[in-house]
Structure 1
Amino acid sequence: MSKQNSTAKAALKLNYKQIFLIGFGFLASSLAWSIYNSQVPLILEQRFQLSGVLIGTIMTIDNFFGVIFQPLVGAASDKTRTRIGRRMPWIIVGIPVCALFFSLAPLQQTLWAFMGAIIIFNLVMSLWRSPVISLMPDVTARPLRSKANGVINMMGGIGSILAFLVGGILSDIRDDKFFAFFFASVLMMIALFILLKFVREPDSLSFREEHNISIKNTISNRWAYQAREALADDPHAKDEEEAQAAEGKKRSFAAFLTLPGAEKRSLLFLLLAVFSWFMGFNAIEAFFTLFATNTYGISGGSATMM
């Protein structure tokens, strides 16, 4: 590494406060998913008497939407340009709609109404999850993203803990489990308020400057200016696009075919291990509360807190 790059890297400093506040978006997402995965199977079995096969099928809806829509929305948000940035328009629309239908879901007494609410929730969640995750790299220089990602993952973990502890307690207050879902909806709206209040994308500043829109002296705008300067000074920024293009070529199926036989087998076994891990984890996550309530006779809330 050259002396210039070493100096530039040393000058970069992670804005932990900003990353912590951005993390509320991921916290809200993780909290909602944890409550969804623990409470929806219970409702499907106890209220609608569905079989395990049907419950498992319904619980895969979010994965289908995630695979289809999240990459498309991520690419679309990259091309979005507004006075509030590239990601925030998706987040501003998505979170309130998610919060509304998440609160309405446990109140539905017919299967079709309940399915309609959770399908809309899953669809809209897939429209704002990618943008909210993209906020961190949008304001963080490349050498600092590993540290920033650690903060974001910590916030996601806190969201899951809140879902299992607080959500578990709230789910036993009423038979329809409304308060657990409402708790997640309230946290989603609080997260949206925090993002609107304290997070400004550097792209938003550029758009406002180009269109002669006033920029107030707020902490979010000051942090956005600092982030833009850090990204501009990042010695890795110019090479990032080329690196991503090269990485894309490495990930192509054609590149896989050119690998030596030993490397192909190694990669296939690695992919099989990852596939098996996720399959097992999702099976446990979706059916654990049902297993605990049916096997040990405990309440849904107690099963959630386990």
Structure 2
Amino acid sequence: MTPRFSFGKTFLLGFGFFGVSVIWSVYNAYVPIFLANRFNLAPALIGFFMTLDNIAALLIQPPIGAWSDRLRTPIGRRMPFILVGAPIGAVAFGLIPLQTLLPLFVACTSTLLLSMALWRTPVVALMPDITPSQYRSQANGIINFMGGVGAIIAFLFGATLYEMNPAYPFWLGSALVILATLMVFIFIREPKEYEVTDKTEPNLLVSLQKVIREEEKSPLRILLAIFFWFVAYNAIEAFFTLYSVNHLGLSESDGARLLGQLSLFFVIMALPAGLIGGRIGRRRTIMTGIVLLASCMLAMFFVPADVLTISLARLPVLGNVPVVGTILMLAGVSWALININSLPMVVDMTDDLHIGTYTGLYYLFSTMAAILGPNLNGIIIQLSGSNYALVMLFGPLFMLLALIMMLGVRRGEAKTRTS
């Protein structure tokens, strides 16, 4: 039986993505600051450290996605991973800012990374589980809207908490993850029956080999495009607060607030991006976002720092909005056009039996990108004598490669209802 689209149920599912977003937003904003100021690590080492979460995800998330496709329990095939991973991650996250010794800091972050890798793919795979194909861009817009709300809370409200005590944003994140997990567990019910199109159990490596060998290369092309645009985006995300401090001359909390301005416009565009993808096509929407985001990065590289920091307005919640803030707002719109429509394209290249496996492939390629991006940027920054502006020149090159890959994608648009 084809599941019906439920706005309310999808909104409640978004609390899972909300929890993921809060943790990673706080982690990416403040852990590089701890590493630089508290432990005196060089940029290349910071870049490597900021990829440890993605190394853990690379090893764990794809097989977890395939495992969750095969698992059958009274509470569903995805929920057990969420109920185990989320609470462990919340506790470990809350302990991170309390550590003054690097080995203990690494122990807490490692526990967080392993536990988050355990439940991220299953919670994301729940969306296509409960949503018909033709509504998946819209549904992905809703859950990314919730993720964006989490990022706004982490960056804007978290910046104020950080000024009070650097531990407070982490404790807020831990509490919100526990709340989000309870919301998903209480209100989301997984389907009891799954479409079976063949007798082969889902397997990540087999699916990857099939994608590579397929004569029609749309699945491989979009996975490579995902790799390239995440190389660009993650390289910038991992170093943005340090870019703000060292290149723009802003405070740590102001750098986080700038990321909050990006996240706000991502949230504003999350639902429209899904609707646009459904109206003009996911491929065309993604390509538009790629061009716009590359342009934003180039502007942040070529426009002088004293111009980027000119204040244009002071707004409630957002605080000071400089020139670079308006560029980041457009970057948030651009990222929504890309990110909201990419996962639906991937899962609509397979059948319902393999949704978790293809979600795992999505995270396999995005995670490999998240490992490569910060490492390359850290090395470039260190070799250039700590020129953090170079992070904005690195991204557009990979955005161009993503655009080239998307030009050859011919599948992945919404499927029409058949029953």
Question: What is the TM-score when the length of structure 2 is the normalising length?
Answer: 0.55
User: Offset at 1:57?
Assistant: 0.3
Structure 1 residues 145 and 273: alpha-carbon distance in aligned structure 2, compared to 1, 3 A threshold: closer
State the Cα deviation string for residues 75-99 of structure 1 (Å, max 9, x = none): 1122222222211111111111000
What is the correspondence of 1:189-204 to structure 2 with a 5 Å cutoff? 189-203=178-192
In our comparison, the structure showing a higher alpha carbon Rg is 1
Distance in 2 of aligned mates of 1:300 and 1:91: 32
Provide the C-alpha distance between the structure 1 equivalents of 2:228 and 2:72, rounded to a whole number of angstroms.
Answer: 40
1:300 paired with 2:252, answer: yes
Q: Hey, what's the Cα distance between the residues in 2 that align with 1:300 and 1:249?
A: 41
Output one character per residue of 1:184-240: Cα deviation in whole Å (capped at 9) or x when no partner: 11110110111122112233xxxxxxxxxxxxxxxxxxxxxxxx7xx8xxxxx5769
Q: Is contact 1:170–1:301 with CA below 8 Å preserved after alignment?
A: no
Partner SS for 1:252 = helix
Q: CA deviation at 1:249?
A: 8.1
Partner Cα separation in structure 1 for residue 178 and residue 81 of structure 2: 14
Match of 2:146 among 144, 155, 162: 155
**2:161 counterpart of 1:178:** no
Question: Do 1:13 and 1:144's aligned partners in 2 also have CA atoms closer than 8 Å?
Answer: no
Structure 1 stretch displaced more, 151-160 or 22-31: 151-160
- Rounded to whole Å, the distance in 2 between the matches of 1:90 and 1:148 is 22
Q: 1:106 aligns with which of 97, 100, 118?
A: 97
- 2:10 counterpart residue number: 19
User: Structure 1 residues 74, 272: closer, same or farther in 2, change over 3 A?
Assistant: closer
Q: Does structure 1 residue 167 correspond to structure 2 residue 119?
A: no
Counterpart-to-counterpart distance in 2, 1:149 and 1:240: 27
Q: Within 5 A, what are the aligned runs for 1:1-80?
A: 13-80=4-71
Q: Which whole-Å CA distance do the structure 1 matches of 2:162 and 2:93 have between them?
A: 14
Distance 2:226 2:190 in 1: 34
Q: CA deviation at 1:54?
A: 0.4
Structure 1, 62-71 or 123-132: larger mean CA deviation: 62-71
Q: Is 1:187 paired with 2:187?
A: no
Instruction: Provide TM-score, normalisation by structure 1.
Output: 0.74
- CA distance in structure 2 between the partners assigned to 1:81 and 1:301 by the alignment: 45
- Describe the shift of the 1:192–1:301 C-alpha distance in structure 2 as closer, same or farther (beyond 3 A): same
Distance in 2 of aligned mates of 1:250 and 1:103: 40
Contact 1:172 1:300 in 2 (8 A): no
When residues 199 and 272 of structure 1 are mapped into structure 2, their CA distance, relative to the original with a 3 A threshold, is: closer
Say if 1:77 and 1:272 are closer, same or farther in 2 by CA, change over 3 A.
closer
1:113-137, Cα deviation, whole Å (9 max, x unpaired): 0011111101110000011112222
Displacement of 1:276 in angstroms is 4.1
Query: How much does 1:160 deviate?
Result: 1.7
Name which of structure 1's ranges 138-147 and 272-281 shifts more when overlaid on structure 2: 272-281
| Structure 1: distance between partners of 2:55 and 2:36 | 22
Q: What one-letter code is carried by the residue in structure 2 that aligns with 1:69? A: I
2:279 matched to 1:279? no
SS in 1 for 2:247: helix
User: CA, structure 1 residues 190+143, in 2 after alignment: closer, same or farther (shift >3 Å)?
Assistant: same
- Can you give the 5+ residue segments of structure 1 that lack an aligned partner in the other structure? 1-7, 204-227, 232-236
Structure 2: runs of 5+ lacking an equivalent: 259-419
Rounded to whole Å, the distance in 1 between the matches of 2:14 and 2:179 is 12
- Report how many residues are paired: 254
Q: Contact 1:172–1:299 at 8 Å: present in 2 too?
A: no
Cα shift at 1:165:
1.0
Report the Cα distance in structure 2 between the residues aligned to 1:117 and 1:47, rounded to whole angstroms: 16
| Amino acid corresponding to residue 169 of structure 2 in structure 1 | A
Matches of 2:29 and 2:141, distance apart in 1: 25
**Are the counterparts in 1 of residues 4 and 131 from structure 2 also a CA contact under 8 Å?**
no
**CA distance in structure 1 between the aligned counterparts of 2:190 and 2:49, rounded to whole angstroms:** 36
Deviation at 1:56, TM superposition (A): 0.2
Task: Provide the C-alpha distance between the structure 2 equivalents of 1:291 and 1:124, rounded to a whole number of angstroms.
Answer: 29
Deviations 1:130-180 (A, max 9, x none): 111122222223333232222112212222222211122212212xx1111
Task: Give me the whole-angstrom Cα distance separating, in 2, the residues matched to 1:250 and 1:122.
Answer: 27
| Deviation sequence 1:48-69 (CA, Å, 0-9, x none) | 0100010000011121122221
The equivalent residue for 1:136 is 127
Equivalent residue letter for 1:252:
V
Deviation for aligned residue 1:248: 4.6
Given residue 302 of structure 1, which amino acid in structure 2 is its aligned partner? D
Distance across 1 between alignment mates of 2:208 and 2:89:
36
